[in-house]
């Protein structure tokens, strides 16, 4: 977990105050105890002098027996532990006081010089103060070792004071900084969070700090810009959705109109295909009705009428096959044998005038599965393709029928070495009445019928666009067994 700004501030301030106040405390404490020490020493010195002066004034010249009670009466005051009085020769006259302090008294003292020395008694540290008086000298042992007991409460007080000041400073600074920085920042963070969860406006908390208020303003501007960008984006998305919807509708419309157009083309083609022979028929009928014709001519007219009627009949038959491709065959539900159908086709077309001088090659791989198209329908498709190929290749041309196993079932190919499919009809090759052949030779229904039959059987038929020499039509037909198992025909 990461520490918050408050905790960090607190730690920083705490360590700053520690760095500032601990040395200060020690400096003050050391200074205080040194001053106290000096004070005590000067005190001890003046005490020693006073005692010595007193003893010298009242006692010099008296015997040591007379001095004893006088000196003893001075003991006990202000840490005075022992007193020694020395004569002119420096020898001790009287030495009274605490036994250990008495031991610390010098055996002899030169009376001419004032001095001070550190000594140790059973109580601890002490000062021996020598004061010359008259012909002799007085030495007083004054305790100084109880410094600690005097300074300790003072130091404790100092420590307490320092700690209190430090704490007060810490609290004050902490609250000031929190108020100035942390709270406005928290406010900004909450505001930003609200914006993130959907609010439309960033509420900037009031603050006296210039930088923070500037930050708030910047955030506010940024939020406003982001929100307006978002609005724009949303508008764009709506627009795109709208456009997509429109596109879809247009596409559907296009498909519909395309369908209508093919129906229209179908009708137009039909009108043209049937209209021409009917006009011819009517003309011939008029001539016959007018009468007065030679019997030969009459016969010729009737034969021509017969041909025109046959043409109409052929067109209607093809059209019927195109309209109801799945029922056009005799036994349409019977799975067809491709190999047999190929041979049937070859036998049927061989005597046809279109095949004169044309080489027809068959390439059928044995063991082909039966397909979803009946044998008769297969022949119908193959006939259309082979006759087209013969028309294109002409005398001296070559046609090849291939049948082989494919992933789905059987692939049937009819190729020729003619000029290939004309550019203008390629797009609409499988639509009815699309033809490049002159009237009477082609109806433009052949490939449309083929596609109707093949697609009804679940297969595909297309022109191989990769093929460069002549034309090549590829028919894919599903394996009847596979299809029968998942969706029965009919
Ligand atoms: N093997 C082929 N080579 C060149 N063009 C072809 C071939 N097969 C079909 N076509 C073109 O496709 C058109 C449409 O053929 P089809 O639908 O069978 O009608 P039709 O044979 O009555 O013209 C033909 O008129 C011809 O232009
Ligand atoms: Mg044809």
Confidence tier at 145 by pLDDT (50, 70, 90): low
List ligand 1's pocket residues with C-beta within 6 A. 384, 388-389, 392, 416, 418, 420-422, 425, 429, 434-437, 442-444, 446-448, 471
363 CA from centroid of ligand 2 (Å) = 22
Output the pLDDT for position 124: 77
Output the pLDDT for position 138: 81
Output the residue whose Cα is nearest ligand 1's atom 10.
Answer: 421
Which has more confidence, 135 or 344?
A: 344
Q: How far apart are CA 316 and CA 308, in angstroms?
A: 12
Which has more confidence, 354 or 415?
A: 415
- On whether the CB atoms of residues 265 and 306 are closer than 8 A, the answer is no
DSSP string computed for 324-341: SHHHHSTTTTSPB-HHHH
DSSP state of 91: B
477 CA from centroid of ligand 1 (Å) = 21
The phi and psi torsions of 350 (rounded to 5 degrees) equal -50, -45
Q: How far apart are CA 220 and CA 9, in angstroms?
A: 27
Q: How far apart are CA 204 and CA 185, in angstroms?
A: 10
470 CA from centroid of ligand 2 (Å) = 16
Confidence tier at 209 by pLDDT (50, 70, 90): confident
Q: Which residues pair with 115 in a beta bridge?
A: 130
pLDDT in tens, 68-122: 777 777 776 667 888 888 877 878 888 888 888 888 888 887 777 777 888 888 8
Output the residue whose Cα is nearest ligand 1's atom 18.
Answer: 446
Q: DSSP alpha helices (H): ranges in 4-146? A: 5-59, 64-74, 99-104
Output the pLDDT for position 141: 84
Output the residue whose Cα is nearest ligand 1's atom 19.
Answer: 444
- On whether the CB atoms of residues 304 and 284 are closer than 8 A, the answer is yes
Which-ligand-closest: CA of 413? Answer: 1
Residues, the chain: 490
For range 348-370, the mean pLDDT: 89
Output the residue whose Cα is nearest ligand 1's atom 4.
Answer: 421
pLDDT of 203 strictly over 70:
yes
Place of tokens 């031991």: 103
Given the CA of residue 385, which atom of ligand 1 is nearest to it? 8
386 CA from centroid of ligand 2 (Å) = 9
- On whether the CB atoms of residues 215 and 191 are closer than 8 A, the answer is no
350 CA from centroid of ligand 2 (Å) = 16
Report the run of H or E that residue 114 belongs to, with start and end: none
Which-ligand-closest: CA of 452? Answer: 1
Q: CB neighbours (10 Å) of residue 254?
A: 11
222 CA from centroid of ligand 2 (Å) = 72
343 CA from centroid of ligand 2 (Å) = 20
Q: Which two tokens stand for residue 74?
A: 């001075």
Residue % of the chain over a pLDDT of 70 = 88
Cβ-proximal residues to 142 (8 Å cutoff; 6+ apart), any chain: 43, 44, 47, 48, 78, 79, 80, 81, 126, 127, 129
For range 127-140, the mean pLDDT: 79
- On whether the CB atoms of residues 471 and 416 are closer than 8 A, the answer is yes
Given the CA of residue 416, which atom of ligand 1 is nearest to it? 1
Q: Which two tokens stand for residue 423?
A: 């550019």
Domains for the chain: give ranges and CATH numbers: 5-155 (3.30.450.20), 225-323 (1.10.287.130), 331-486 (3.30.565.10)
Output the pLDDT for position 323: 62
Given the CA of residue 445, which atom of ligand 1 is nearest to it? 17
Output the residue whose Cα is nearest ligand 1's atom 25.
Answer: 435
Q: How far apart are CA 367 and CA 359, in angstroms?
A: 25
54 CA from centroid of ligand 2 (Å) = 159
177 CA from centroid of ligand 2 (Å) = 96
Q: In what order do the strands lie in the sheet with 136-143?
A: 92-97, 80-86, 136-143, 124-133, 115-121
pLDDT of 339 strictly over 90:
yes
pLDDT of 396 strictly over 70:
yes
For range 266-290, the mean pLDDT: 83
Q: Taking Cα atoms as reference points, which of 428, 423, 466 lies closest to residue 447?
A: 428
Q: Which two tokens stand for residue 55?
A: 């003893």
pLDDT in tens, 22-61: 999 899 888 888 888 788 778 777 877 777 777 767 665 6
- On whether the CB atoms of residues 347 and 452 are closer than 8 A, the answer is no
Which-ligand-closest: CA of 423? Answer: 1
Which has more confidence, 90 or 322?
A: 90
pLDDT in tens, 435-483: 898 866 777 888 988 898 899 899 999 999 988 889 999 999 999 887 6
Whole-prediction pTM:
0.45
Q: Taking Cα atoms as reference points, which of 72, 35, 49 lies closest to residue 132?
A: 49
Among 153-162, 202-211, 217-226, 397-406, which stretch is predicted with the lowest mean pLDDT?
Answer: 202-211
pLDDT in tens, 363-388: 998 889 999 998 888 988 998 999 99
Which-ligand-closest: CA of 445? Answer: 1
Output the residue whose Cα is nearest ligand 1's atom 24.
Answer: 435
Confidence tier at 328 by pLDDT (50, 70, 90): very low
Q: How many CA atoms lie within 13 A of 235 on its CB side?
A: 6
Own/partner contacts of 197-201, CB < 8 Å, gap of 24 or more, are: 200/227
Rg (CA), the chain: 66
Go through 326-337 and write b for each residue having 16 or more CB atoms within 10 A of its CB, e for each that does not.
bebbeebebbbb
The phi and psi torsions of 37 (rounded to 5 degrees) equal -55, -45
Output the pLDDT for position 489: 45
384 CA from centroid of ligand 2 (Å) = 5
- On whether the CB atoms of residues 118 and 130 are closer than 8 A, the answer is no
Q: How far apart are CA 259 and CA 431, in angstroms?
A: 11
Confidence tier at 329 by pLDDT (50, 70, 90): very low
Go through 206-233 and write b for each residue having 16 or more CB atoms within 10 A of its CB, e for each that does not.
ebeeeebeebbeebbeebeeeeeeeeee
Given the CA of residue 435, which atom of ligand 1 is nearest to it? 25
Quick one: CA torsion of 48, 53, 54, 57, rounded to 10 degrees? 160
Which-ligand-closest: CA of 471? Answer: 1
Output the pLDDT for position 81: 83
For range 323-339, the mean pLDDT: 66
303 CA from centroid of ligand 1 (Å) = 28
Residue % of the chain over a pLDDT of 90 = 32
pLDDT of 284 strictly over 70:
yes
Output the residue whose Cα is nearest ligand 1's atom 8.
Answer: 388
Confidence tier at 330 by pLDDT (50, 70, 90): very low
For range 344-349, the mean pLDDT: 87
Output the pLDDT for position 269: 67
Output the pLDDT for position 311: 82
Which-ligand-closest: CA of 449? Answer: 1
Confidence tier at 219 by pLDDT (50, 70, 90): confident
CA angle (73, 78, 80) in 5-degree steps: 60
Given the CA of residue 441, which atom of ligand 1 is nearest to it? 22
Candidate from 311, 380, 388 with most ligand 1 atoms within 8 A of CB, to mutate: 388
The phi and psi torsions of 42 (rounded to 5 degrees) equal -70, -30
């Amino acid at each position: 977990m990461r520490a918050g700004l408050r905790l960090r501030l607190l730690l920083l301030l705490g360590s700053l105050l520690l760095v500032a106040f601990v040395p200060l405390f020690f400096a003050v404490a050391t200074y205080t105890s040194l001053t106290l020490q000096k004070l005590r020493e000067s005190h001890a010195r003046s005490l020693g002098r006073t005692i010595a002066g007193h003893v010298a004034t009242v006692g010099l010249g008296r015997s040591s027996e007379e001095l004893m009670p006088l000196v003893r009466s001075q003991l006990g005051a202000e840490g005075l532990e022992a007193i020694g009085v020395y004569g002119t020769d420096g020898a001790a006259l009287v030495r009274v006081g605490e036994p250990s302090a008495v031991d610390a008294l010098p055996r002899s003292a030169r009376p001419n010089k004032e001095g001070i020395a550190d000594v140790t008694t059973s109580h601890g540290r002490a000062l021996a103060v020598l004061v010359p008086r008259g012909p002799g000298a007085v030495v007083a042992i004054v305790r100084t070792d109880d410094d600690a007991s005097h300074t300790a409460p003072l130091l404790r007080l100092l420590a307490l004071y320092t700690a209190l000041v430090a704490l007060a400073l810490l609290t004050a600074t902490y609250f000031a900084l929190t108020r100035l920085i942390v709270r406005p920042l928290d406010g900004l963070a909450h505001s930003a969070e609200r914006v993130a969860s959907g609010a439309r406006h960033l509420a900037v908390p009031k603050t006296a700090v210039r930088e923070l208020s500037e930050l708030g303003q910047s955030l506010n501007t940024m939020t406003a810009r982001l929100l307006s960008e978002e609005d724009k984006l949303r508008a764009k998305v709506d627009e795109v959705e709208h456009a997509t919807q429109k596109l879809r509708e247009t596409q559907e419309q296009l498909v519909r109109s395309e369908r209508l157009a093919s129906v229209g083309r179908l009708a137009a083609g039909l009108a043209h295909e049937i209209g021409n022979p009917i006009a011819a028929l009517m003309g011939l009928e008029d001539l016959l009705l007018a009468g007065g014709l030679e019997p030969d001519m009459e016969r010729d007219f009737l034969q021509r009428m017969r041909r025109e009627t046959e043409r109409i009949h052929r067109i209607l038959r093809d059209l019927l096959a195109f309209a109801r491709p799945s029922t056009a065959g005799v036994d349409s539900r019977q799975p067809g044998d491709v190999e047999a159908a190929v041979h049937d086709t070859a036998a049927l077309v061989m005597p046809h005038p279109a095949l004169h001088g044309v080489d027809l090659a068959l390439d059928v791989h044995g063991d082909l599965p039966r397909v979803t198209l009946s044998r008769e329908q297969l022949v119908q498709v193959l006939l259309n393709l082979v006759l087209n190929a013969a028309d294109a290749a002409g005398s001296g041309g070559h046609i090849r029928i291939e049948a082989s196993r494919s992933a789905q079932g059987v692939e049937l190919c009819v190729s020729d070495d003619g000029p290939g499919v004309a550019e203008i009809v390629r797009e609409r090759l499988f639509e009815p009445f699309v033809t490049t052949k002159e009237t009477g030779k082609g109806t433009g229904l052949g490939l449309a019928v083929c596609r109707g039959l093949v697609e009804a059987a679940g297969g595909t038929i297309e022109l191989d666009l990769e093929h460069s020499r002549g034309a090549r039509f590829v028919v894919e037909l599903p394996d009847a067994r596979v299809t029968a198992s998942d969706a029965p025909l009919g």
